[in-house]
A and B are shown apart, each in its own frame.
Chain A
Amino acid sequence: MIRLFANANYDFIKWRRWAYGLTAAIIIPGFALFLVHGLNYSIEFTGGTLIQVQTTQPVGTDRLRAALDAAGIRDAEIKQFGTPTDYVVTARLGTGGVTAEGSTQATAAAVDSALARGVGAGQYAIVRTETFHDILTTIAFIRYLDLEVSLVVVGAVLTMVGYSLNDTIIIFDRVRENLRKYRRQNLYEILNLSINETLPRSVLTHGTTMATTLALVLLAGEVLRPFALVMTFAIFTGTFSSIYIAAPLLMYIEKRWPGQDARGARAFRPTGAVPLDAPRPPSPPAPGGSRSKAAV
């Protein structure tokens, strides 16, 4: 039986400040670039003309360019992809685009309000911050690779938000369970424990998802590549944010506005009394087979 990260016991939360730094290192330059250059919007947003053509024999972009110039179409972008006979010609209008952007904004706002109603205020704050983080890092990523933002890529970002949310819910579900189960640990330890316990699941699910996105990146052709790349990156940033944005935020909220069992307020580091590596929660398979002592 292959087991990955079984009984893992990493102190994830300890590294949270490094994680903030890493996030900032990704977001800040990327966002600065985004503010300066904007994004490479597809014609769904800018308006214009896109023609996918396949020629019977390779003609070369120069000749296509000449033909377009003769037809009075200037500033068209000619991209060759796949075989030497496939071309995409894009002529951007540069105006318009208000509708597509507007509907994207409206959609985002609606999802946001649905989230606010769907989950509690505390969780909502967490989910929102996390989503914000995910979207910011993804924008930075798109900017670094200068990917073309089409509706498909917007779709990828939406999937990614859902996927990252899934991840957080799985971890928080475990946190809720462990809070009931282990009465003596503080939130720091509970969070670490829950992340560690769900680690095999995370590795497996992200592994299978990554397998499909990488197959899409490598094989599915030029049209889907931006979508697949964004999804691949999103798996990383979504997992990262579930661990390093959502979990510390929960600790912060519990510290600032303590809940009914104000364990978050007690300590932000492993307590001296109960060392984390003590044979406590993920107890190795005891020969006696007795269940963990904690009440469920």
Chain B
Amino acid sequence: MFYTVRSRLITIGIVLALSIWALIPTNTTQRVRDAATGRMKDTTIRRVPINLGLDLQGGIHLALEVDQSKGPVPDAAEAIRRAERVVRTRIDEFGVTEPVVQVVGNNRLIVELAGEKDPARAKSVIQRTAYLEFRITDMKNLFRDALPEVDKALRQAGIKPAGQAAAAASVTQLFGADTGAGKGRRAKGKPAAKDTSDVNAPGALSSLLFQGQLPGEYLVPEEQVPVAESLLARPDVRRLMPRGIELEWGNEVSSRAARSYRALYAVEDRPIITGEELQDARATRDPLTNQSVVNFVLSRRGGRIFERETGRHVQDYMAIILDGRVQGQPPIIKGQIGQHGQIELGAKPLQEAQDLALVLKAGALPAPLTIIEERTIGPSLGKDSITDGIHAGIVGVALVILIMVVYYRWSGALAVSALTLYVLFTLAGLAAFGFTLTLPGLAGLVLSVGIAVDANVLIFERIREELQHGKLVRTAVDEGFTHAMSAIIDSNVSTALTAFILYLVGTGPVQGFAITLIIGIAASMVTAIFVVRTFYMIWLERRPDMATLSV
């Protein structure tokens, strides 16, 4: 089939045309969220069909794992698979372009958002993707009643109220602001600090807490949050916590009178329902009242549980807790709720309702996730990396060309021209496999150019040996190719086999590496053997009387 120069040239031409076709920039359509309107829209971008990896494009990389610290999760592998689906829909809805969501191993989830312009926002999207539960707040103020004991214990442990003067000042300031604002409804409960001051001087913990507007809601000045956290983490404090009550921080920071406060909620430790039972959540606008509402649907089992629980807790407040953070202010339970429920958000914008709906849906995870690895790569650095990588590539390839041409002269030049085809074929192969070019991939490509000439070196050395044995040019070329073949095939097949196994068992970067290797081997076999052979055939055909070969 490939005995004539003509058929060989046609074959090379076809492969070349296919490669160029694979590399022609195409129009791709991406769905992105329009910043102004918040709606999704399609944009068309013209670009080369090789995806640039995170490290070249800039973006963020996150690795998440099932959190087993609070107790073993029965089926972590299944949990992470469900989490993958949830995270993917969630990211898609937020309009990040071409996200990578991938399960690695048994319990790790990789999320890569290449080219993400606003890492903070994207990260918050992922971070909120977590464990959802509904819990009733501390309606009986068990936590507040336990505060004097806690303060006493802390005093015995020798801990003095931090910045007592400042705290004392903030009490009056807070209430001044509150009543001054005239809202009234804000200061329903008595401040915790006041309660304890009857017993003794303001305690270390209670001086940090201010009663919020709901039972079980406390406000902590933003700058005191770390102090409060460390106090609450103490074993002697934890021992004194009332039975059945846990503390969870709110996700929002509210500011009053030029100070910002974070909410701390005392909630029951038993969730009335978890995200597992939640099937769907949608944000709409109530046509009658024009309020933003979130409608949610529970599973049948969840509906039964929820009906029983909400029946017991009418007029109680229900905290929506996602990944240990209370989302917004807990809504009140107005009546018994079955399978279908509704959360009213009042006059808040629809966007907020949409976000809550997403939170609910994303929270439909059977187990909590923690972020264990996080990388942020600035886009400008990615650009620098590309420039550096390309510079190194050019220098490296130039050196290879120099060595080949100086050492093997005309034959070297043939090998070098085949090398340009090699690079083209490899890139086309990468594009055809939808491979993402990363920085290591780029390095691998540069390196492969150095290794790709190996086949040619083997052939040329063999031809030299044959010539040395006094063979005629034509015979020497023929025998050079034939004899070098076994070594080339042996070594390449063994490498390809290893790469194939790597692809089968490996994950993520290892797979990408294996694909580059396999494509590189295939391309180098084609160019070094087939293309260079064809060049020789043309050359010898033109100079049939050639006595010495430039090799």
Contacts and interface: CB of A to CB of B under 8 A. Distances in A.
A229 to B, nearest CB: 12
A221 B407 CA distance: 30
Contacts of B407: 2, 4, 204
B384 A82 contact: yes
Contact of A49 (B375, B378, B392, B487): B375
A43 B375 contact: yes
B105 A103 contact: yes
A218 to B, nearest CB: 7
B393 A215 contact: yes
Contact of B490 (A48, A151, A173, A212): A173
Contacts of B406: 2
A158 B513 contact: yes
A202 B490 CA distance: 16
Contact of B399 (A152, A154, A198, A212): A212
B391 to A, nearest CB: 5
Interface in A224-269: 224, 227-228, 231
A152 B442 CA distance: 11
Interface residues of B, number: 76
B509 interface: yes
B145 interface: no
A162 B446 contact: no
Nearest to B550: A1
Contacts of A1: 409, 551
Given A173-B490, A215-B446, A291-B469, A110 B504 contact: yes
Contact of A47 (B63, B509, B551): B63
A172 to B, nearest CB: 8
Interface string A43-65: 11001111111100000000000
B457 A216 contact: no
B93 interface: no
Interface string A161-180: 11101100110011000000
A111 B447 contact: no
A292 B465 CA distance: 11
Interface in B449-507: 449-451, 453-454, 457-458, 461, 464-465, 468-471, 486-487, 490-491, 494-495, 497-499, 501-502, 504-507
Interface residues of A, number: 81
B349 interface: no
Contact of B497 (A72, A118, A215): A118
A200 B507 CA distance: 38
B392 A219 contact: yes
> Which of B106, B381, B453, B551 is packed against the most chain A CB atoms within 10 Å?
B381
Contact of B457 (A86, A93, A201, A289): A201
A285 B55 CA distance: 54
Nearest to B466: A291
Contact of A204 (B378, B380, B457): B457
Given A173-B490, A285-B469, A102 B374 contact: no
A211 B510 contact: no
A212 B461 contact: no
B462 to A, nearest CB: 9
A43 B373 CA distance: 7
Contact of B495 (A51, A162, A204): A162
Contact of A99 (B104, B465, B490, B509): B104
A116 B465 CA distance: 34
B447 A212 contact: yes
A205 interface: yes
B495 A205 contact: no
B237 interface: no
Nearest to B388: A221
B389 interface: yes
Contacts of A103: 104-105, 506-507, 510
B interface: dominant SS: helix
Interface in B397-447: 397, 399-400, 403-404, 406-407, 409, 439-440, 443-444, 446-447
Given A107-B505, A159-B447, A47 B378 contact: no
A221 B389 contact: yes
Interface in A131-168: 151-152, 154-155, 158-159, 161-163, 165-166
Nearest to A219: B392
A287 B380 CA distance: 64
B377 interface: yes
Contacts of A43: 373, 375
A28 interface: no
A72 B384 CA distance: 30
A2 to B, nearest CB: 5
B38 interface: no
A96 interface: yes
A211 B403 contact: yes
Contacts of A155: 440, 444, 509-510, 513
Contacts of A169: 487, 490-491, 494
Contact of A289 (B380, B384, B470, B551): B470
Given A52-B377, A285-B469, A219 B447 contact: no
Contacts of B226: 72
B268 interface: no
A103 B506 CA distance: 7
Contact of B372 (A47, A102, A161, A173): A47
Contact of A213 (B55, B376, B385, B450): B450
A38 interface: no
Nearest to B499: A162
Contacts of B446: 212, 215-216, 220
A209 B513 contact: no
Contacts of A220: 388-389, 391-392, 443, 446
A100 B107 CA distance: 11
Contacts of B63: 44, 47
A106 interface: yes
A208 B384 contact: no
B208 to A, nearest CB: 17
A132 to B, nearest CB: 15
> Which of B389, B392, B409, B507 is packed against the most chain A CB atoms within 10 Å?
B392
B112 interface: no
B400 A110 contact: no
Contacts of A231: 447
Nearest to B387: A221
> Which of B461, B465, B471, B490 is packed against the most chain A CB atoms within 10 Å?
B461
Given A111-B501, A152-B440, A166 B381 contact: no
B394 to A, nearest CB: 8
B549 to A, nearest CB: 10
Contact of A290 (B453, B470, B506): B470
A272 interface: no
Query: What are the 9 tightest A-B residue pairs by CB atom distance, in nearest-first order?
Result: A289-B470, A215-B396, A211-B399, A212-B396, A212-B450, A220-B392, A219-B392, A209-B450, A47-B372
15 contacts: A47-B63, A47-B372, A99-B108, A103-B507, A107-B502, A107-B510, A111-B498, A114-B497, A207-B403, A208-B451, A212-B449, A212-B450, A215-B399, A223-B55, A284-B468
Given A161-B498, A204-B407, 16 more contacts: A50-B376, A53-B376, A103-B510, A107-B505, A118-B497, A159-B444, A170-B487, A173-B487, A201-B458, A205-B453, A205-B454, A211-B450, A212-B399, A214-B396, A216-B443, A284-B468
